[in-house]
Structure formats: C-alpha cells, structure tokens
Structure 1
Amino acid sequence: MKRAGHFLILLVALLTSVSAHQIAELSGQVEMGKNQVQLSFMVDAAYSLPEFRGDEDAPPQDLAWLRQQSPAEWKRIQLEAGTYFSHCLKIVVNGHRIEPAYRFPDFDTDPPRFVTDGIAEMPPMIEVAADVPFEGGRFDVAWDEPFGVVLILVSDRDVQPVISGQQVRLFDRPPSLWQWIRLGWQHIIPAGLDHILFILGIFLLTPSWKPLLKQSLTFTLAHSATLVFAALGWVHLPTQPIEIAIALSISWIALENFGRQRVTRVRYLTIAGFGLVHGLGFASMLVPLLPPGRPDQLIYGIAGFNLGVEAGQVAVLAAALASCGWWTKFHFDHLRLWGSLAIAFTGIVWAIQRAVG
C-alpha cells in the first residue's frame, strides 16, 4: 500500500507538471505511526520558489534544471519550501495548531538524491516530510493556497482532495489508557510549570509526606470534578479568565505560607477551591480528546489523565523532599520565606501577562 501511494503521488505530480509551471495539484502521503502521524509531500522544486509560483505562462522546469542549481540555491529551495508549507498547511491536533519541523530527505545524501536518480526530462520533484506527534483524539488538516492548488492526501484508507480554504479531519480516535496517563503526566512534567509552582507552594508550608499527599489528592479530586462538568458541557468559561485565575491561585497559595504554621481545614478548602479552577484549565486540553457520545471514554479518559497528573504531582513533591525536606527548621524557614515570595511574584507576573495578552 505504501508503494502504491508513492506511485500515485509521482503519477499525479507528473500529470500536473508537464503542461505548465503553475501546478494544479500537490500530493502527500499520510501514515499513522505509533505516536505520530507521518506526512510526506512531493513538491515541484521550482514551484517552491516565489519567482516561479503562480505564473501560468512560465515554462515548466525539469530535473536537469534542478541539478544545475548551486548548493546555495538548493538551500534556498529547502527554505522556501518549508516557508510555503508553514503558510499554506495548518495542522490542528485536538484544537491546537501544531507547527512541525519539515525535513527534506532528498537532500540527506551527498550529492542529493535527485542528482543521481531519475531522468533529466522529469519534473524537478523533491520530498518534503514532517512527523507530527499524535497520541489520539482529532487530527485535522487545513489548506490555504494562494493560487488554488488542490492538496491530494493519500492514506491506507482513501484518497482525499483538500481544496484551498477547506479543513478536513484525517483521524479521530480516543487515546489508550496508557496514553491518557502519559498525557496527564506530561501536563505536569514538563509542560505544567504553573501547576508545578502551585505544588511547590503547597510543599513550602510543611515538608511532611502525609499532609503533602493529602493536599495533592485534594487538589486532584477537585479538578477531577470540573473536568467531568466541562466534559459533560455543564461548565464552559472563556480561557483567558481561567488562566488569570490559575496564575493568581499560585500567588495566593504561596502567600498563605506566611500566615500559617500547619495544614488546617481552611488550607484544604482553599486547595479544593483552586483545584476546581485548575480543572477548567485542564479541560481546555482534555475535552477535545474525548469522542462525543462515548460516556465510557469520559470515565476512562478522566481517570487515566488524573492518574498521570497525580503521579506528576507526587514526583514533584518527592523531588522537593529529597532536595530540601531534610533541612533544619532554621534553614527551611528561610527557604519558605524566599521561595514563597518568588512563587507569589511569578504568579502575579503571569496574571498580568495573561490579562494584557
């Protein structure tokens, strides 16, 4: 199937390049990997250059023309081809745009592959490839080409044309339990610096395992509730106020360390309240992964995601305890003072940035 797909790509490229330099179609191979989607496009090297693009009267270039270009010009072709795809191809995974790093396999050898392979009279086709991380959920592609070139996407399942201005869904699958857990972990480590600071603010009050685990679990249970509410459509708030509230919660929990000497009931209630807010922040990432009309995936996904979040939080607490939980009270009190001030200041700065941004 893979060879057949590449044959179809080459055939389309030949048919659309022989009549005039302004091409009508551009073809790409789409393959699902273990944790990524692999994209491979066959592109007319001349069309990737702005000075050739869009001129129907320009004579078509051939492989001999490409071979005659200097190494500096080959570099420019790669740069312009990458810029072309960055402008025209929009990849959206679970509602978030992904900017892949484009590769050029034909240039990996010395000399480039097209110097030794192919007939000189053939169109000057080069491969442009990209690997897009994809754990599951929705994988969409939007195409916006200024001269109306149609994107032909070839996969094991079908051949799908995408006209300029159109967005299509290529994949829609729920993550596995392990992928849910890993997503939760990654949302804390390394992507959740704001959540890490919140957990460190909790740690600075008292470096003792039992109250720390209770506070972490309280936080997890609270954001689990709002995750469920958001997934069911019962709660929906704009992203910006939520992100501002999350930043302020970081400052609040740190400043609380100056007025408390131990973990009290009020502390647990405060953490639970902020957990509800953080859950809305989690929901903006998690909910798009949940397939509609699948309540089983709702339970499955939220349970796995929260296991990963809790594991990430416990890892942060364990690292903090191993680093300075054994310090003397005198030295830890100084750490509490300056660490809480630093966390509170960071939260305020983030709140301001998110408010004006």
Structure 2
Amino acid sequence: MRLRGITVAEGLAKSTAQVFAVGLVMLLALLPARAHEMSPAIADITIGSERVEMEIILQGEAMVAGIDLSSITDTNNSPRADTYDALRALPPEVFADRLRDAFPELADGIRLSAGDTRLTPELEEAATSPAEGEDLPRQSRVVIAADLPDDDSDVTFGWAPEYGPIILRQIVEDLPEGEEAYSAFLGPGQTSVPLPRTGTAQVTVLESFVTYIGLGFTHIVPKGLDHILFVLGLFFFSRALRPLFYQVTTFTLAHTLTLALATLGIVSVPAAVVEPLIALSIAYVAIENIARPRLSRVRLAVVFVFGLLHGLGFASVLGDIGLSPGHFIASLVAFNVGVELGQIAVIVTAFFAITFWIGHKPWYRTVVVIPASALIGAMGLWWALERTIL
C-alpha cells in the first residue's frame, strides 16, 4: 500500500527508526554524568611479622547506606539514594561518627586472612573529608588493624562484592633493587594473591595487561557517558565508513598522546577546566553534524583538539585508579587498548542497531541524524553549564 509516494512499511520504518535513535540518545542523556558517581576504594596494606595494618580510602556514605556498589556506579540509580543523600548532607565529623558506629557491621564483609585463619579487623581511625563539589562524593578514610598468628602464613585480603572494586597496594620497605611492591585492582568480591610478610607478591605482565584492558573498557562502557555521546557524535556525522574512520583515528591518536603525557606527569590540567571543555566538545561535533556535515581538515583538526581534552579526562580516571608500578608501560598501553575497544563497541552497537538497517534510506539524515545530533548537542551544552555555573 502506498500513501503519497511512501509505502506504509517505509513510513513505519521511519517512525520506528526515529523513535529508536532519539530514544537511545534521550536514555543516555537522562543518566547523570557525574553526580554521585562512585570510584574504586584504595587500600594500602602493611604486613609485619605480628600485625597487619590497612589504610582504606572508601565511599563511606554508600557503604553505610547499604548501596550495592558491585552493580551501581552512581548512587542516584540506587533505591537507597535518599539514604545516601541524607548521610552525605551530614557534616564530615558527624558522618565520621556514624561510620565508626557502623563499622562492626561493615567489618563482617572484610575478608582478611592469614593462611586458614580469619582475622578480625579493629577500627583504629575514621575520618571524612569535605566534598570538593556538590556533585562529587566525599571520601572517608579508615585505618584498620589485626594481629597475625605466629605461623608466618601469608595474608590475603578481599571484601564483600557489594562494597565494590578496590585498588590494593602492598607497602614494603627496603625492597631489593629491581622489585616493585604488589599492586592490583580487585573487582567486586575478588581476593588478593597471598601476600608474604617479608618481601612482596608478584604480578605477571599478562595479568596486569588483562586487568587494565578491562578497566579501560569499563571506563567507556558503561561508565563513560560523556565519551559515549562524543563517539556517537562522530558516528552520526556521516553514514560513509571513510569519514568515520578518519575521525576515530584522529581522535584516538590525540587522546593517546595526552593520556600518556598526563600519566607520566608531563602535562597537567585541572579537571575543573577539562570537564566543561569535554562537554563543549560533545556539543560542537553534534551541532556541526547538523550545520556542516562535510569532512574537512578543519573538522579533523577540531576532533584532534577534542581528543587531546578527552585524553586528559582518561588520565584523570587512570590517576585515581593508579598504574601497576611493576608494569607501568604495559598497564598504560592496556588501559588505552581497553578504551579503544569500548569506543569500537559503541560504534558497532550503533551501526547494527540503526545504520545497518536504514542507513541507505534517503530520509536517514532527516529522521535519524538531525534529531539525534540535536539531543546530543543539547546534552553537551547542559553539561557545560552544569560544570561551570550550576
């Protein structure tokens, strides 16, 4: 059946495509980009002959509120978000008291062992720092300790999956030349390798490489909403493969450069500057998709500059996580590989969800590209305002 030169089937396809594309972008846009976003805990463990001590930087309000950090990276997405917000509204010293009161229950989830002996950690210190911004979580610091059995057994550490991921670093004095102290990223529920009381445990290059690939990937999917929207902005620029290839390659070269320079400490730009500019980069590529959808040297130059900004953003996250001291270069390369795989996943998903089916249609740009780009641009502008003024 044909109505005004358009078949009913084609009209249905147009409507479905528009709803799907716009709905996808709106779903991403409605998710909070930074507010209440959780980061991994960081723990330094010092093992002596008779006693083990740990200093842990953690998301205290989320743990006391009972939020499951194994599956939620933003507390706004938790059914216990109101409890978290109420705890976060407390003055730092008041919440530190609440954390001390809650520690006996939280300690049940800390799995500290020496050989086959389960250790009972005692809380020695607890403090909470003021928040750096209204949309950023506060960090709490706890110091715990436990006596070790007199059997020279190795120590292992892990904690309950709902406490989320943790970066564990072994503090060892007077290491032999050429050795690096143990450092590992433990996912929710994972346990460290056995840590000796003298010297340090070793992690292979391959183990470190695989771990940091996963960290880079998850920073894009699902955690990197602003980076996802930027990549989608590049994707919607043209349905042809060559413009997409040139843009993604330019973007990759740029963010790889600044990721390396910032991680090595050669370049440093405050997050307060980088984050609003990243938001503006999202808006720019989306607006250009609508106003001037032609690949040019100017477009590639702009993408390169924005890639430099995004690399600084990646470096900020990697700085929070830390690189494996013994495999610095391998960890840096692996993280970048993970980021690239995350970007490829976004592009492949968008291609097979939308463009593969209707990219050849004459109405693809009008029905899909322009509305989707408009929403991406609006979200970028909103984030820029949110990160500077609001």
Q: Output the TM-score relative to the length of structure 2.
A: 0.51
Partner of 1:45: none
Give the C-alpha shift of residue 131 in structure 1: 6.4
Partner of 1:152: 145
Give the C-alpha shift of residue 169 in structure 1: 6.2
Partner of 2:283: 251
The reply to whether residue 173 of structure 1 matches residue 183 of structure 2 is: yes
Q: Choose the corresponding residue for 2:343, options 294, 313, 318.
A: 313
Partner of 1:336: 369
Q: Distance in 2 between matches of 1:230 and 1:182?
A: 20
Correspondences of 1:32-181 after superposition (within 5 Å) = 91-92=56-57, 99-100=62-63, 101=66, 128-130=107-109, 143-144=125-126, 151-153=144-146, 173=183, 176-181=208-213
Q: Distance in 2 between matches of 1:150 and 1:91?
A: 6
Deviations along 1:3-47, one digit per CA (max 9) or x if unpaired, are xxxxxxxxxxxxxxxxxxxxxxxxxxxxxxxx9999xxxxxxxxx
Structure 2 CA distance for partners of 1:126 and 1:219, relative to 1, 3 Å = closer
Deviations along 1:110-137, one digit per CA (max 9) or x if unpaired, are xxxxxxxxxxxxxxx87833369xxxxx
Partner of 1:260: 292
Q: Distance in 2 between matches of 1:252 and 1:179?
A: 34
Give the C-alpha shift of residue 248 in structure 1: 0.7
The reply to whether residue 202 of structure 1 matches residue 221 of structure 2 is: no
Letter in structure 2 aligned against 1:271: V
8 A Cα contact 2:276 2:384, kept in partner: yes
8 A Cα contact 1:174 1:289, kept in partner: no
Letter in structure 2 aligned against 1:241: V
Q: Distance in 2 between matches of 1:278 and 1:238?
A: 13
Give the C-alpha shift of residue 144 in structure 1: 1.8
Q: Distance in 2 between matches of 1:303 and 1:243?
A: 23
8 A Cα contact 2:42 2:57, kept in partner: no
Partner of 1:275: 307
Q: Distance in 2 between matches of 1:142 and 1:220?
A: 46
Give the C-alpha shift of residue 102 in structure 1: 8.4
Partner of 1:238: 270
Q: Distance in 2 between matches of 1:209 and 1:286?
A: 31
Deviations along 1:81-115, one digit per CA (max 9) or x if unpaired, are xxxxxxxx98427xx88944589xxxxxxxxxxxx
Q: Which runs of 5+ in 1 are unaligned?
A: 1-34, 39-88, 104-124, 133-140, 160-167
Q: Output the TM-score relative to the length of structure 1.
A: 0.55
Moved over 6 A (4+): 35-38
Give the C-alpha shift of residue 244 in structure 1: 0.7
Give the C-alpha shift of residue 154 in structure 1: 5.5
8 A Cα contact 1:185 1:311, kept in partner: yes
Structure 2 CA distance for partners of 1:142 and 1:303, relative to 1, 3 Å = farther
Give the C-alpha shift of residue 356 in structure 1: 3.4
When Rg is computed on C-alpha atoms for both structures, the one with the higher figure is 1
Q: Distance in 1 between matches of 2:259 and 2:231?
A: 19
Q: Distance in 1 between matches of 2:143 and 2:254?
A: 48
Structure 2 CA distance for partners of 1:145 and 1:316, relative to 1, 3 Å = closer
Deviations along 1:259-311, one digit per CA (max 9) or x if unpaired, are 3233222222111110100111111111351256x6xx342122111111111
Deviations along 1:177-208, one digit per CA (max 9) or x if unpaired, are 01111111101100001000001111111123
Partner of 1:353: 386
Partner of 1:227: 259
Question: Size of the alignment, in residue pairs?
Answer: 229
8 A Cα contact 1:217 1:310, kept in partner: no
Q: Distance in 1 between matches of 2:143 and 2:328?
A: 37
Give the C-alpha shift of residue 213 in structure 1: 3.0
Q: Distance in 1 between matches of 2:305 and 2:60?
A: 31
3-state DSSP of counterpart to 1:261 = coil
3-state DSSP of counterpart to 2:107 = strand
Give the C-alpha shift of residue 337 in structure 1: 1.2
Structure 2 CA distance for partners of 1:214 and 1:333, relative to 1, 3 Å = same
Give the C-alpha shift of residue 332 in structure 1: 3.0
8 A Cα contact 1:227 1:279, kept in partner: yes
Q: Distance in 2 between matches of 1:233 and 1:244?
A: 22
8 A Cα contact 1:243 1:281, kept in partner: yes
8 A Cα contact 2:55 2:143, kept in partner: no
8 A Cα contact 1:205 1:260, kept in partner: no
8 A Cα contact 1:226 1:279, kept in partner: yes
Structure 2 CA distance for partners of 1:339 and 1:351, relative to 1, 3 Å = same
Letter in structure 2 aligned against 1:130: G
